[in-house]
Amino acid sequence: MTQSFRNASSMALILGLTVPILAESRTSETRDPSLKISVRIYNYAAATSGVPAKAQGEAARIFSRSGIETNWLACAIPGREVETNPSCKAKPEATDIQVRILPRKMARKLMNHHSEFGLAFTALGDGFGSNASIFYHRVEELSARRHTSRPLLLGHLIAHEIGHLLLGSNSHSGSGIMHVPWDRRQVERASLGTLFFTPREASRMSDQVSRRMAAVAISARASR
């Protein structure tokens, strides 16, 4: 069965993860270890608290493989929690990514097709896309069908969508985590922990993160 994602350039995209070629999944040890993004998670689906936390760890591992460090913030949902991480209240910068985990009711307002898993709002030109959503009921369905860990699946889906934000539109590829479509073999490969971005994707994402960090530095100097 084909599962699909929609890239937020308003095009319906078919999501897939493929069995990676191990030679392609290796990244350069010389990659800049200072590359870092911050990811704000908004758990509108009220997924069990341990699920997003474990998913974040999985996504962090995937990005670390590409030489990108991730800082994760669990942000409160307005009206549901009194307290929130103070950092969540700060104005987002170029290095800040926001991921919403949506329940079925909210997801249906965004889905073009019932098989979609999520979407990412990529930017045009030299802009920086910063918002992505995951349709959590689709994670639950796939987890039940493939007898696979929800946190593991959610972590890979989060990594995939953030990948769209860092790679830009039309960023599906012939191998690795950005490949399409996603079938049983890909789920099994993800379960083995061997599904990553390709070296070329890792390089492009590193360049994008460097640009974002430079933009933040310029903005900080201008505000002094």
Burial class (CB in 10 A: 0-12, 13-18, 19+), 76: middle
Is 57 within the bounds of a domain?
Answer: yes
Predicted confidence at residue 29, as pLDDT, reads 45
Using the structure block, give the residue that is written with the tokens 């084909």. Answer: 2
Which among 48, 103, 42 is positioned nearest to 73, based on CA atoms? 42
DSSP 152: H
Is 196 within the bounds of a domain?
Answer: yes
Please tell me the total count of domains within the chain. 1
Print the SS3 string covering 59-98: HHHHHHHCCCEEEEEEECCCCCCCCCCHHHHCCCCCCEEE
Quote the domain boundaries for residue 88. 4-18+33-222
Predicted confidence at residue 79, as pLDDT, reads 62
Which among 170, 160, 167 is positioned nearest to 211, based on CA atoms? 167
Predicted confidence at residue 14, as pLDDT, reads 34
Is 98 within the bounds of a domain?
Answer: yes
CATH of the domain at 66: 3.40.390.10
Beta strands in the chain (DSSP E): 4-7, 11-13, 36-43, 69-75, 96-102, 116-121, 131-135
pTM (2 decimals)? Answer: 0.84
Divide the 224 residues of the chain into consecutive groups of 10 and give the mean pLDDT of each group. 40 35 42 84 89 96 97 80 73 96 94 86 90 95 92 96 94 86 81 93 97 96 89
Measured distance CA(118)–CA(8) in Å, rounded: 9
